[in-house]
A and B are shown apart, each in its own frame.
Chain A
Amino acid sequence: MSISIQRCTSLPELFQAIEGIKPPIMYLAGGTDLMVLLKANLIPDSAWFDISDIPDIKGITVKDDMLVIGAATPFDEIYPDANVLKWAKALSEAASNVGGPQIRARGTIGGNIANGSPAADTLPALASLGAQVNLLSARGERSVPIEGYALGNRRTVREADEIISSVSIPIRAGIKGAWKALGARKALAISKISLAVSAVLEQGSFSYLRIGLGSVAATVRRAPQAEEVLLNGGWNRETLEEACRIIQTEISPIDDIRSTAEYRKAMSGVLLHDALISAFGEAPTR
Protein backbone atom coordinates (compact mmCIF):
# COMPACT_ATOMS: atom_id res chain seq x y z
CA MET A 1 0.00 0.00 0.00
CA SER A 2 1.31 3.41 -0.81
CA ILE A 3 -0.15 6.81 -0.17
CA SER A 4 1.16 10.25 -0.95
CA ILE A 5 0.06 13.22 1.06
CA GLN A 6 0.11 16.94 0.51
CA ARG A 7 -0.99 19.77 2.75
CA CYS A 8 -3.11 22.49 1.10
CA THR A 9 -4.01 25.72 2.84
CA SER A 10 -6.18 27.39 0.19
CA LEU A 11 -8.67 26.30 -2.47
CA PRO A 12 -6.51 27.45 -5.43
CA GLU A 13 -3.59 25.50 -3.96
CA LEU A 14 -5.80 22.42 -3.60
CA PHE A 15 -7.23 22.56 -7.13
CA GLN A 16 -3.79 23.10 -8.59
CA ALA A 17 -2.40 20.19 -6.60
CA ILE A 18 -5.07 17.72 -7.74
CA GLU A 19 -4.92 18.69 -11.39
CA GLY A 20 -4.08 15.61 -13.43
CA ILE A 21 -3.95 13.34 -10.36
CA LYS A 22 -5.30 9.87 -11.01
CA PRO A 23 -8.11 8.83 -8.61
CA PRO A 24 -8.59 7.62 -5.94
CA ILE A 25 -8.14 11.01 -4.34
CA MET A 26 -8.69 11.33 -0.59
CA TYR A 27 -9.50 14.64 1.03
CA LEU A 28 -8.15 14.41 4.56
CA ALA A 29 -10.27 16.54 6.90
CA GLY A 30 -10.66 15.28 10.48
CA GLY A 31 -9.20 11.88 9.57
CA THR A 32 -11.69 10.10 11.83
CA ASP A 33 -12.76 7.81 8.99
CA LEU A 34 -9.64 7.83 6.80
CA MET A 35 -7.10 7.16 9.56
CA VAL A 36 -9.15 4.22 10.83
CA LEU A 37 -9.24 2.72 7.33
CA LEU A 38 -5.51 3.37 6.92
CA LYS A 39 -4.75 1.56 10.18
CA ALA A 40 -6.89 -1.39 9.06
CA ASN A 41 -5.07 -1.53 5.70
CA LEU A 42 -8.33 -0.82 3.88
CA ILE A 43 -7.04 2.17 1.91
CA PRO A 44 -6.15 1.67 -1.74
CA ASP A 45 -3.05 3.30 -3.23
CA SER A 46 -4.16 6.89 -3.30
CA ALA A 47 -3.22 10.54 -3.29
CA TRP A 48 -4.23 12.36 -0.09
CA PHE A 49 -4.73 16.09 0.21
CA ASP A 50 -5.04 17.67 3.63
CA ILE A 51 -7.98 20.11 3.58
CA SER A 52 -8.23 20.62 7.34
CA ASP A 53 -6.57 24.05 7.27
CA ILE A 54 -8.41 25.66 4.34
CA PRO A 55 -10.22 28.66 5.91
CA ASP A 56 -12.74 29.03 3.03
CA ILE A 57 -14.42 25.72 3.89
CA LYS A 58 -14.57 26.25 7.65
CA GLY A 59 -16.98 28.10 9.90
CA ILE A 60 -20.67 28.86 10.16
CA THR A 61 -22.39 31.88 8.58
CA VAL A 62 -25.91 33.13 7.92
CA LYS A 63 -26.48 34.72 4.55
CA ASP A 64 -29.50 35.26 2.26
CA ASP A 65 -31.89 33.25 4.48
CA MET A 66 -29.45 30.35 4.49
CA LEU A 67 -27.42 28.85 7.30
CA VAL A 68 -24.13 27.84 5.66
CA ILE A 69 -21.81 25.39 7.39
CA GLY A 70 -18.31 24.93 5.92
CA ALA A 71 -17.53 21.30 5.12
CA ALA A 72 -14.35 21.26 7.24
CA THR A 73 -16.10 22.55 10.36
CA PRO A 74 -15.73 20.03 13.20
CA PHE A 75 -18.76 18.75 15.13
CA ASP A 76 -17.75 20.45 18.38
CA GLU A 77 -17.99 23.83 16.68
CA ILE A 78 -21.32 22.95 15.05
CA TYR A 79 -23.48 21.64 17.88
CA PRO A 80 -23.10 24.53 20.36
CA ASP A 81 -23.32 27.28 17.71
CA ALA A 82 -26.17 29.72 18.43
CA ASN A 83 -27.39 29.82 14.81
CA VAL A 84 -27.31 26.04 14.49
CA LEU A 85 -29.26 25.69 17.75
CA LYS A 86 -31.82 28.17 16.48
CA TRP A 87 -32.24 27.13 12.83
CA ALA A 88 -31.09 23.52 12.81
CA LYS A 89 -31.77 21.96 16.20
CA ALA A 90 -31.93 18.44 14.75
CA LEU A 91 -28.41 18.88 13.33
CA SER A 92 -27.10 20.25 16.62
CA GLU A 93 -28.40 17.18 18.44
CA ALA A 94 -26.93 14.80 15.85
CA ALA A 95 -23.53 16.54 15.94
CA SER A 96 -23.39 16.48 19.74
CA ASN A 97 -23.83 12.71 19.67
CA VAL A 98 -21.16 11.75 17.13
CA GLY A 99 -18.42 9.57 18.66
CA GLY A 100 -16.83 11.01 21.79
CA PRO A 101 -15.25 14.40 22.53
CA GLN A 102 -12.01 13.68 20.67
CA ILE A 103 -13.95 12.55 17.56
CA ARG A 104 -16.16 15.66 17.68
CA ALA A 105 -13.08 17.87 17.98
CA ARG A 106 -11.70 16.60 14.65
CA GLY A 107 -14.51 14.92 12.68
CA THR A 108 -16.22 17.20 10.16
CA ILE A 109 -19.65 17.47 8.60
CA GLY A 110 -18.13 17.22 5.10
CA GLY A 111 -16.38 13.98 5.99
CA ASN A 112 -19.62 12.63 7.44
CA ILE A 113 -21.55 13.25 4.23
CA ALA A 114 -18.83 12.63 1.65
CA ASN A 115 -19.04 8.90 1.07
CA GLY A 116 -22.77 8.40 1.37
CA SER A 117 -22.61 6.08 4.37
CA PRO A 118 -26.21 5.30 5.42
CA ALA A 119 -25.09 5.29 9.07
CA ALA A 120 -23.70 8.85 9.06
CA ASP A 121 -25.53 10.52 11.90
CA THR A 122 -25.88 14.02 10.43
CA LEU A 123 -27.67 12.80 7.29
CA PRO A 124 -31.18 12.30 8.74
CA ALA A 125 -30.93 15.72 10.38
CA LEU A 126 -29.83 17.35 7.13
CA ALA A 127 -32.62 15.56 5.22
CA SER A 128 -35.21 16.79 7.71
CA LEU A 129 -33.93 20.33 7.24
CA GLY A 130 -34.03 20.23 3.43
CA ALA A 131 -30.27 20.90 3.24
CA GLN A 132 -28.25 21.38 0.05
CA VAL A 133 -24.76 19.97 -0.47
CA ASN A 134 -22.50 22.48 -2.21
CA LEU A 135 -19.84 20.95 -4.44
CA LEU A 136 -16.79 22.78 -5.72
CA SER A 137 -14.04 21.97 -8.21
CA ALA A 138 -11.72 23.80 -10.58
CA ARG A 139 -14.57 23.38 -13.11
CA GLY A 140 -17.04 25.33 -10.99
CA GLU A 141 -19.73 25.07 -8.37
CA ARG A 142 -23.00 23.13 -8.10
CA SER A 143 -25.54 22.24 -5.46
CA VAL A 144 -27.53 19.06 -4.92
CA PRO A 145 -30.23 18.30 -2.36
CA ILE A 146 -28.90 16.06 0.41
CA GLU A 147 -31.28 13.26 -0.57
CA GLY A 148 -29.95 13.32 -4.12
CA TYR A 149 -26.30 13.30 -3.06
CA ALA A 150 -25.96 9.61 -2.19
CA LEU A 151 -26.97 7.20 -4.94
CA GLY A 152 -26.63 4.01 -2.95
CA ASN A 153 -24.39 2.49 -0.34
CA ARG A 154 -21.12 4.39 -0.68
CA ARG A 155 -21.91 5.74 -4.17
CA THR A 156 -22.51 9.47 -4.58
CA VAL A 157 -22.90 12.09 -7.31
CA ARG A 158 -19.57 13.69 -6.34
CA GLU A 159 -16.83 13.48 -8.98
CA ALA A 160 -13.26 12.68 -7.92
CA ASP A 161 -12.07 16.26 -8.49
CA GLU A 162 -14.94 17.78 -6.49
CA ILE A 163 -14.95 18.61 -2.83
CA ILE A 164 -17.90 19.39 -0.64
CA SER A 165 -17.38 23.06 0.21
CA SER A 166 -20.37 23.51 2.51
CA VAL A 167 -23.94 22.59 3.32
CA SER A 168 -26.74 25.18 3.16
CA ILE A 169 -29.84 24.97 5.30
CA PRO A 170 -32.86 27.18 4.50
CA ILE A 171 -33.82 29.36 7.45
CA ARG A 172 -37.47 28.86 8.44
CA ALA A 173 -38.99 31.06 11.12
CA GLY A 174 -40.18 29.13 14.14
CA ILE A 175 -38.54 25.84 13.15
CA LYS A 176 -38.18 23.20 15.84
CA GLY A 177 -36.47 19.85 15.63
CA ALA A 178 -34.92 16.84 17.28
CA TRP A 179 -32.63 13.92 16.50
CA LYS A 180 -32.87 10.50 18.15
CA ALA A 181 -30.88 7.32 17.72
CA LEU A 182 -30.35 3.91 19.18
CA GLY A 183 -26.92 2.31 19.42
CA ALA A 184 -25.23 -0.32 21.53
CA ARG A 185 -23.92 2.30 23.93
CA LYS A 186 -24.07 6.06 24.27
CA ALA A 187 -20.58 7.07 23.13
CA LEU A 188 -18.49 5.71 20.26
CA ALA A 189 -21.11 3.35 18.82
CA ILE A 190 -22.54 3.31 15.30
CA SER A 191 -26.29 3.89 15.35
CA LYS A 192 -28.59 0.93 14.69
CA ILE A 193 -31.18 3.46 13.55
CA SER A 194 -31.39 7.23 13.71
CA LEU A 195 -34.26 9.61 13.04
CA ALA A 196 -34.58 13.37 12.80
CA VAL A 197 -37.58 15.59 12.54
CA SER A 198 -37.71 19.29 11.71
CA ALA A 199 -41.03 21.14 11.68
CA VAL A 200 -42.78 24.49 11.87
CA LEU A 201 -45.99 24.34 13.89
CA GLU A 202 -48.49 27.20 13.59
CA GLN A 203 -51.72 27.09 15.58
CA GLY A 204 -51.93 23.33 15.65
CA SER A 205 -50.98 22.66 12.01
CA PHE A 206 -47.64 22.09 10.37
CA SER A 207 -46.52 24.51 7.63
CA TYR A 208 -43.30 22.48 7.31
CA LEU A 209 -42.46 18.98 8.45
CA ARG A 210 -39.86 16.49 7.30
CA ILE A 211 -38.63 13.25 8.78
CA GLY A 212 -35.16 11.86 7.96
CA LEU A 213 -34.08 8.30 8.71
CA GLY A 214 -30.60 6.77 8.90
CA SER A 215 -29.50 3.10 8.79
CA VAL A 216 -32.84 1.86 7.43
CA ALA A 217 -31.90 1.84 3.73
CA ALA A 218 -28.82 2.07 1.50
CA THR A 219 -28.97 5.84 1.79
CA VAL A 220 -30.63 8.39 4.02
CA ARG A 221 -34.38 8.48 3.37
CA ARG A 222 -37.53 10.38 4.26
CA ALA A 223 -40.82 9.01 5.60
CA PRO A 224 -43.35 10.60 3.20
CA GLN A 225 -46.41 8.74 4.49
CA ALA A 226 -45.81 9.64 8.11
CA GLU A 227 -45.04 13.22 7.03
CA GLU A 228 -48.34 13.37 5.15
CA VAL A 229 -50.35 12.21 8.16
CA LEU A 230 -48.93 15.06 10.22
CA LEU A 231 -49.00 17.68 7.45
CA ASN A 232 -52.66 16.92 6.68
CA GLY A 233 -53.95 16.25 10.17
CA GLY A 234 -51.92 18.66 12.31
CA TRP A 235 -50.54 18.05 15.78
CA ASN A 236 -52.85 15.93 17.92
CA ARG A 237 -52.88 12.59 19.69
CA GLU A 238 -54.51 10.83 16.79
CA THR A 239 -52.03 11.98 14.12
CA LEU A 240 -49.10 11.30 16.43
CA GLU A 241 -50.24 7.72 16.93
CA GLU A 242 -51.03 7.22 13.25
CA ALA A 243 -47.69 8.68 12.06
CA CYS A 244 -45.78 6.43 14.48
CA ARG A 245 -47.72 3.43 13.18
CA ILE A 246 -47.43 4.17 9.48
CA ILE A 247 -43.68 4.89 9.58
CA GLN A 248 -43.11 1.26 10.62
CA THR A 249 -44.86 0.00 7.52
CA GLU A 250 -43.35 2.40 5.01
CA ILE A 251 -39.68 1.64 5.66
CA SER A 252 -37.95 -1.55 4.59
CA PRO A 253 -34.74 -1.91 6.60
CA ILE A 254 -32.53 -5.00 6.45
CA ASP A 255 -30.89 -7.34 8.95
CA ASP A 256 -27.18 -6.69 9.37
CA ILE A 257 -24.42 -7.08 11.94
CA ARG A 258 -25.70 -4.20 14.02
CA SER A 259 -29.43 -4.94 14.16
CA THR A 260 -32.46 -6.63 12.63
CA ALA A 261 -35.12 -5.34 10.23
CA GLU A 262 -37.87 -6.09 12.73
CA TYR A 263 -36.19 -4.14 15.53
CA ARG A 264 -35.50 -1.18 13.26
CA LYS A 265 -39.14 -1.04 12.11
CA ALA A 266 -40.49 -1.12 15.63
CA MET A 267 -37.98 1.46 16.81
CA SER A 268 -38.75 3.87 13.96
CA GLY A 269 -42.16 4.44 15.57
CA VAL A 270 -40.66 4.89 19.03
CA LEU A 271 -38.01 7.32 17.78
CA LEU A 272 -40.54 9.37 15.82
CA HIS A 273 -42.72 9.63 18.91
CA ASP A 274 -39.76 10.70 21.10
CA ALA A 275 -38.42 13.11 18.48
CA LEU A 276 -41.73 14.92 17.98
CA ILE A 277 -42.36 15.27 21.69
CA SER A 278 -38.82 16.45 22.34
CA ALA A 279 -39.04 18.93 19.42
CA PHE A 280 -42.21 20.54 20.79
CA GLY A 281 -41.41 20.07 24.47
CA GLU A 282 -44.69 18.25 25.25
CA ALA A 283 -47.19 15.71 23.98
CA PRO A 284 -50.14 17.10 21.97
CA THR A 285 -52.87 18.37 24.27
CA ARG A 286 -55.77 17.42 22.03
Chain B
Amino acid sequence: MNKTFKLQFTLNGRPTEAMINPSARLLDVLREDFGLTGTKEGCGKGECGACTIFMDGKAVDSCLVMAIQAQGHSIITIEGMAKEGRLDKVQEMLLQEGSVQCGYCIPGMVMSARALLNRNSNPTLDEVKYAMSGNLCRCTGYHKIFKAVLRAAQIEREAKSKI
Protein backbone atom coordinates (compact mmCIF):
# COMPACT_ATOMS: atom_id res chain seq x y z
CA MET B 1 0.00 0.00 0.00
CA ASN B 2 1.17 3.51 -0.73
CA LYS B 3 1.60 5.16 2.64
CA THR B 4 1.83 8.73 1.45
CA PHE B 5 -0.13 10.63 4.10
CA LYS B 6 1.53 11.79 7.29
CA LEU B 7 -1.09 11.37 9.99
CA GLN B 8 -0.50 13.47 13.10
CA PHE B 9 -2.99 13.07 15.89
CA THR B 10 -3.42 12.21 19.55
CA LEU B 11 -3.88 8.49 20.09
CA ASN B 12 -4.92 7.32 23.54
CA GLY B 13 -3.58 10.53 25.00
CA ARG B 14 -0.20 10.49 23.24
CA PRO B 15 0.84 12.71 20.33
CA THR B 16 1.32 10.23 17.49
CA GLU B 17 2.64 10.33 13.95
CA ALA B 18 2.67 7.73 11.19
CA MET B 19 2.74 7.42 7.42
CA ILE B 20 -0.54 5.89 6.29
CA ASN B 21 -2.48 5.01 3.16
CA PRO B 22 -4.65 8.11 2.53
CA SER B 23 -7.66 6.08 1.42
CA ALA B 24 -7.70 3.78 4.45
CA ARG B 25 -10.45 3.78 7.03
CA LEU B 26 -9.56 4.83 10.56
CA LEU B 27 -10.68 1.36 11.72
CA ASP B 28 -8.04 -0.32 9.53
CA VAL B 29 -5.29 2.11 10.45
CA LEU B 30 -5.97 1.56 14.17
CA ARG B 31 -5.99 -2.20 13.82
CA GLU B 32 -3.30 -2.74 11.21
CA ASP B 33 -0.90 0.21 11.43
CA PHE B 34 -1.09 0.60 15.21
CA GLY B 35 -1.95 -2.98 16.21
CA LEU B 36 -4.90 -1.79 18.30
CA THR B 37 -7.11 -4.79 17.60
CA GLY B 38 -9.50 -4.21 20.50
CA THR B 39 -11.62 -2.15 18.11
CA LYS B 40 -13.67 -4.66 16.10
CA GLU B 41 -15.26 -4.68 12.68
CA GLY B 42 -18.76 -6.12 12.67
CA CYS B 43 -20.76 -4.79 9.76
CA GLY B 44 -18.43 -2.17 8.29
CA LYS B 45 -21.42 0.08 7.58
CA GLY B 46 -22.38 1.92 10.72
CA GLU B 47 -25.03 -0.48 11.93
CA CYS B 48 -23.46 -2.48 14.76
CA GLY B 49 -21.15 -0.18 16.75
CA ALA B 50 -18.44 -2.87 17.25
CA CYS B 51 -15.91 -0.36 15.87
CA THR B 52 -16.90 2.49 18.24
CA ILE B 53 -14.06 4.77 19.37
CA PHE B 54 -13.88 8.31 20.77
CA MET B 55 -13.14 11.15 18.40
CA ASP B 56 -12.71 14.34 20.43
CA GLY B 57 -14.64 12.67 23.23
CA LYS B 58 -17.63 11.63 21.12
CA ALA B 59 -18.50 8.00 20.36
CA VAL B 60 -18.19 7.44 16.59
CA ASP B 61 -18.03 4.41 14.29
CA SER B 62 -14.42 4.10 13.10
CA CYS B 63 -15.56 2.14 10.04
CA LEU B 64 -17.22 5.33 8.75
CA VAL B 65 -14.25 7.64 9.30
CA MET B 66 -11.37 7.99 6.84
CA ALA B 67 -8.08 7.92 8.72
CA ILE B 68 -7.05 11.30 7.27
CA GLN B 69 -10.11 12.82 8.97
CA ALA B 70 -8.42 12.10 12.31
CA GLN B 71 -5.67 14.59 11.48
CA GLY B 72 -5.25 16.92 14.44
CA HIS B 73 -7.95 15.17 16.46
CA SER B 74 -7.93 13.12 19.64
CA ILE B 75 -8.73 9.43 19.22
CA ILE B 76 -9.28 7.06 22.12
CA THR B 77 -9.75 3.33 21.63
CA ILE B 78 -10.72 0.60 24.07
CA GLU B 79 -6.97 0.16 24.78
CA GLY B 80 -6.97 3.68 26.20
CA MET B 81 -9.73 3.05 28.72
CA ALA B 82 -7.83 1.36 31.55
CA LYS B 83 -5.86 3.87 33.65
CA GLU B 84 -2.68 2.81 35.48
CA GLY B 85 -3.55 -0.84 35.09
CA ARG B 86 -7.10 -0.36 36.42
CA LEU B 87 -10.10 -1.07 34.27
CA ASP B 88 -12.66 1.62 33.55
CA LYS B 89 -15.62 1.34 35.93
CA VAL B 90 -17.86 0.30 33.03
CA GLN B 91 -15.50 -2.58 32.18
CA GLU B 92 -15.30 -3.63 35.82
CA MET B 93 -19.10 -3.70 36.18
CA LEU B 94 -19.57 -5.64 32.95
CA LEU B 95 -17.33 -8.31 34.44
CA GLN B 96 -18.99 -8.23 37.84
CA GLU B 97 -22.53 -8.41 36.42
CA GLY B 98 -21.59 -11.26 34.07
CA SER B 99 -22.74 -9.14 31.14
CA VAL B 100 -20.34 -10.55 28.58
CA GLN B 101 -20.87 -13.59 26.41
CA CYS B 102 -18.77 -13.82 23.22
CA GLY B 103 -17.43 -10.34 23.89
CA TYR B 104 -17.27 -9.11 20.31
CA CYS B 105 -19.61 -6.16 20.89
CA ILE B 106 -18.13 -5.23 24.25
CA PRO B 107 -15.33 -2.79 23.29
CA GLY B 108 -17.91 -0.74 21.40
CA MET B 109 -20.41 -1.01 24.25
CA VAL B 110 -17.78 0.26 26.70
CA MET B 111 -17.03 3.28 24.49
CA SER B 112 -20.71 4.24 24.07
CA ALA B 113 -21.39 3.79 27.77
CA ARG B 114 -18.36 5.85 28.78
CA ALA B 115 -19.36 8.63 26.34
CA LEU B 116 -22.76 8.75 28.04
CA LEU B 117 -21.43 8.71 31.61
CA ASN B 118 -18.95 11.48 30.79
CA ARG B 119 -21.81 13.87 30.05
CA ASN B 120 -24.51 12.42 32.29
CA SER B 121 -23.47 10.91 35.62
CA ASN B 122 -27.01 9.90 36.54
CA PRO B 123 -28.72 8.43 33.46
CA THR B 124 -32.09 6.70 33.48
CA LEU B 125 -32.50 3.28 31.88
CA ASP B 126 -34.12 4.99 28.88
CA GLU B 127 -31.15 7.33 28.53
CA VAL B 128 -28.79 4.35 28.64
CA LYS B 129 -30.84 2.65 25.91
CA TYR B 130 -30.84 5.81 23.72
CA ALA B 131 -27.07 6.24 24.15
CA MET B 132 -26.40 2.60 23.28
CA SER B 133 -28.95 2.20 20.48
CA GLY B 134 -26.11 2.22 17.92
CA ASN B 135 -24.50 -0.87 19.44
CA LEU B 136 -25.79 -4.33 18.62
CA CYS B 137 -25.19 -7.48 20.62
CA ARG B 138 -26.24 -10.82 19.20
CA CYS B 139 -25.63 -12.80 22.37
CA THR B 140 -26.83 -11.20 25.55
CA GLY B 141 -30.22 -9.55 25.12
CA TYR B 142 -28.72 -6.29 26.51
CA HIS B 143 -30.34 -6.48 29.94
CA LYS B 144 -27.15 -7.21 31.88
CA ILE B 145 -25.17 -4.72 29.82
CA PHE B 146 -27.56 -1.90 30.69
CA LYS B 147 -27.54 -3.00 34.33
CA ALA B 148 -23.74 -2.84 34.43
CA VAL B 149 -23.75 0.68 32.97
CA LEU B 150 -26.29 1.87 35.53
CA ARG B 151 -24.23 0.32 38.35
CA ALA B 152 -21.03 1.92 37.06
CA ALA B 153 -22.80 5.28 37.09
CA GLN B 154 -24.05 4.70 40.62
CA ILE B 155 -20.65 3.68 41.98
CA GLU B 156 -18.98 6.68 40.35
CA ARG B 157 -21.57 9.03 41.85
CA GLU B 158 -21.07 7.53 45.30
CA ALA B 159 -17.28 7.77 44.98
CA LYS B 160 -17.60 11.43 44.00
CA SER B 161 -19.95 12.34 46.85
CA LYS B 162 -17.43 10.91 49.36
CA ILE B 163 -14.66 13.26 48.25
Contacts and interface: CB of A to CB of B under 8 A. Distances in A.
A187 B136 CA distance: 11
A101 B132 CA distance: 7
A36 interface: yes
Interface stretch (A25-33, A139-147, A206-214): A25-33
Interface in A69-106: 76, 99-103, 105-106
Contacts of B52: 102
A154 interface: no
A150 to B, nearest CB: 23
B133 A100 contact: yes
B60 to A, nearest CB: 5
Main secondary structure of the interface of A (DSSP, over half): mixed
A53 B71 CA distance: 9
Could you say which interface size class chain B belongs to? Answer: 20 to 34
A35 B46 contact: yes
Interface stretch (A3-11, A14-22, A228-236, A269-277): A3-11
Contacts of A5: 22-23, 66, 68
A35 B65 contact: yes
A36 B58 CA distance: 20
A52 B68 CA distance: 10
B112 interface: yes
B115 interface: yes
A7 B46 contact: no
A40 interface: yes
B64 interface: yes
Contacts of B46: 32, 35-36, 99, 102-103, 188
B161 to A, nearest CB: 27
Contacts of B135: 100
Contacts of A63: none
A50 B69 contact: yes
A101 B23 contact: no
Interface of B: 22-23, 25, 44-47, 49, 52, 55, 58-61, 63-66, 68-69, 71-72, 112, 115, 130-135
